[in-house]
Structure 1
Amino acid sequence: MLESLQECGLVAKVVRGLNINYHTALRWWEYYEGTEEVAYKKFEENSGPKSSFTTEYNEYIKELLDNDPQLYPDDIISSLTERFEDFTISKSQLNNHLRNIMLITVRKPMFEPEVRNSVGDLQTRFEWFMEWKDPDLEIVFSLMKPGFILI
């Protein structure tokens, strides 16, 4: 099929049908004529900067998490910088490495205050609710119906 595109104007028709830029198609065609290979985008699985983590760092992190699975990224970073002198990394880089390379998800725990679920607080909330649902409040709800306007 590619050899039949040498006819005048046929490249433009095919390119328009595929919604590709004309000059891009010409560049691909010239590449094909010169190398007899189809032009592919060179893809690297990890095209970003190379990771500064070594297997020693990874083993140390695994050991840390095996000993204390409730660690969060700040603890891991501080432990790594204590153990390895010249090691510096941001929290986002560490989370990215843990999630994508080591397949580990670490989150900072969020604790609720004990007062929130204490017996006294629950009782106070229950009493407030029982007062709120009192039948005398039906008047308030009837006033809140759409179309009722107080002037």
Structure 2
Amino acid sequence: MGGPITLQGLPGLQEQVDQEIGASSWRTVEQEHIDLFAKLTGDEQWIHTDPERARGGPFGATVQHGFLTLGLATGLLWEVCTVDGFGVVLNYGLNRVRFPAPLRVGSAIRMHVRVADVKELAGDGAEVVYRLTYEVRGEAKPCCVADLVFRYYA
């Protein structure tokens, strides 16, 4: 990967509507990260934190928390693209999130980014909906799909 593409302000964002703008690098799911997330959030369910018990469970291994996967979105998005022409970038929220498949420890994932919608805001701003699809290497289904909403202000 040659680094993020740079979109030039509102016109650059609008040009990308309904386009996939790229994919992040591959990341390996590590038990250490799962355990840290579990401890920080208090979600220490055995399917995430007990490799021995999880081997006999429904997924055959521990699985990463969906919200940990989702929490990677901003950093992975910045691997794919940056937007010039605005002074402030705010994470405005999520419109839709699903976790259609488990993400097993040791798996490799990357995030594909599509610009789903762009709205001009009063005062030289923009609201952008990025459609995120987390691909799991060797798997047919993504582990996460989400619409991430960012607001950009001059």
Q: Which has the higher strand share?
A: 2
Structure of higher CA gyration radius: 1
TM-score interval, smaller chain: under 0.3
TM-score by length of 1: 0.18
TM-score by length of 2: 0.17
Higher relative contact order structure (alpha carbons within 8 Å, sequence separation ≥ 6): 2
Q: Which has the higher helix share?
A: 1
